Amino acid sequence: NNEGIILAIETSCDETSVAVVRGGNHIASNVISSQIEVHERFGGVVPEIASRKHVEVITLMIEQALEESGYGLGDVSAVAVTQGPGLVGALLVGIVAAKSLAMALDVPLIGTHHIAGHIYANQLVHELEYPCMALVVSGGHTELVLLESEGSFRMIGRTRDDAVGEAYDKVARALKFPYPGGPHIDKLAMEAERAITLPRAWLEAGSYDFSFSGLKSAVLAVINQTGMKGEELDKAALARGFQESVIEVLVEKALRAVREFGAKQLLLCGGVAANRGLREALTARCVKESVPLLVPPHRLCTDNAAMIGAAAYLKWKRGEFTPLDMKAEPNFSL
């Protein structure tokens, strides 16, 4: 059929998700099974366990996504799957399922980049105008991506060490919050009455790259020094200082990139888009500089298969399909 009904699968990390997306922007279903509880006690995602959990639920999730969508297997125009980046064992589970389905249904397979998915999650709720700039912030990524036209990606900056969400989770862990700790730090920071000033990692003049490991070390140093002096740690002030440093650098670099490349919109994507401080600061700056800011609803910001379906649709339209012998690409470049 020619409506572009895409069955999409995402298993790159700790969420098993299957979606049915029609025409690139209509979500017929988007089922997500999170493994957070399983990984929580290890303080982070354990790759071996992630793969095993994906295997346990993938077939069920496919059935459920189809049932909720109201479509049958015969309606599917193509099967899309996250090809990378991600955990190789986790990616493989989705890829094997997608290949089998594509082969059995005799429809094209579309290998999709995970970041393209995060970016095109915006297309599920907004009209994109090119050129636009995407700030992708999640547990695994921190990237500034320029989209000069539909489906063209140019990475202009990225983290040189920790991803933003990863830095949040490490700081949260040091403050004894459960995994994933990002939301706890956000909440604490928003309630704080003062901030402990921490360094900003601007890197070389003009660079759009990011670095968060120095900031994380600065946080750990404050915790250690306070402990050694036997003083009580003001966790909220520390959380706020950390959050302010992260946000200032993200906002400055994103807006500078928007100006330099003449972007018509700024897209905020990835799980850290849920951060209240970041959203408030970006919104304020975008209003001031008259730049439209697009943010998908929370459920579409975190890992989900609908975003993969949205990105894959662009390839489907152009007839760009992926051979059935494709491999998982843990370090896939955009």
Q: Which residues does the annotation place in the binding site for Fe cation?
A: 114, 118, 303
- Closer residue to ligand KG4 in complex, CB, 264/276: 276
Query: CB of residue 101 vs ligand KG4: minimum separation in angstroms?
Result: 24
Q: Backbone dihedral region of 187: left (phi > 0), alpha (psi from -120 to 50 degrees) or beta? A: alpha
User: What are the φ and ψ backbone dihedral angles of 47, each rounded to 5 degrees?
Assistant: -55, -45
* Residue 214 contacts which entry, Zn ion, ligand KG4, none (Cβ below 5-8 A, type-dependent): none
Contact between 202 and 249 under an 8 Å Cβ cutoff? The reply is yes
* Residue 182 contacts which entry, Zn ion, ligand KG4, none (Cβ below 5-8 A, type-dependent): ligand KG4
For residue 274, the 8-state DSSP code is G
Query: CB of residue 236 vs Zn ion: minimum separation in angstroms?
Result: 28
Query: CB of residue 163 vs ligand KG4: minimum separation in angstroms?
Result: 7
Q: Are strands 78-84 and 5-10 parallel, antiparallel or unpaired?
A: parallel
- Closer residue to ligand KG4 in complex, CB, 108/180: 180
Dihedral sign of CA atoms 128, 133, 137, 142 in order: positive
Query: CB of residue 234 vs ligand KG4: minimum separation in angstroms?
Result: 19
- Closer residue to Zn ion in complex, CB, 222/295: 295
User: What are the φ and ψ backbone dihedral angles of 4, each rounded to 5 degrees?
Assistant: 75, 60
**Residues annotated within a binding site:** 114, 118, 136-140, 169, 182, 186, 275, 303
* Residue 168 contacts which entry, Zn ion, ligand KG4, none (Cβ below 5-8 A, type-dependent): ligand KG4
Query: CB of residue 291 vs ligand KG4: minimum separation in angstroms?
Result: 22
Which are the contacts of 321, defined by CB distance < 8 A and separation ≥ 6?
A: 78, 108, 109, 110, 315
Angle at 317 between CA 315 and CA 321, to 5 degrees: 45
Closest to 241 in 3D by CA, of 175, 287, 157, 302: 175
* Residue 274 contacts which entry, ligand KG4, Zn ion, none (Cβ below 5-8 A, type-dependent): ligand KG4
Closest to 252 in 3D by CA, of 284, 275, 274: 284
Query: CB of residue 59 vs Zn ion: minimum separation in angstroms?
Result: 23
- Closer residue to Zn ion in complex, CB, 76/308: 308
User: What is the contact surface with Zn ion in residues (CB under 5 A)?
Assistant: 138, 303
Query: CB of residue 259 vs ligand KG4: minimum separation in angstroms?
Result: 26
Q: Are strands 142-147 and 132-137 parallel, antiparallel or unpaired?
A: antiparallel
Tokens of 18: 């299957």
- Closer residue to Zn ion in complex, CB, 209/303: 303
- What is the three-class DSSP state of 229? coil
* Residue 94 contacts which entry, ligand KG4, Zn ion, none (Cβ below 5-8 A, type-dependent): none
User: What is the contact surface with ligand KG4 in residues (CB under 6 A)?
Assistant: 13, 138-140, 165, 168-169, 180-183, 186, 270-272, 274-275, 302-303
Closest to 160 in 3D by CA, of 93, 118, 208: 208
- Closer residue to Zn ion in complex, CB, 97/163: 163
- Closer residue to ligand KG4 in complex, CB, 18/272: 272
* Residue 244 contacts which entry, ligand KG4, Zn ion, none (Cβ below 5-8 A, type-dependent): none
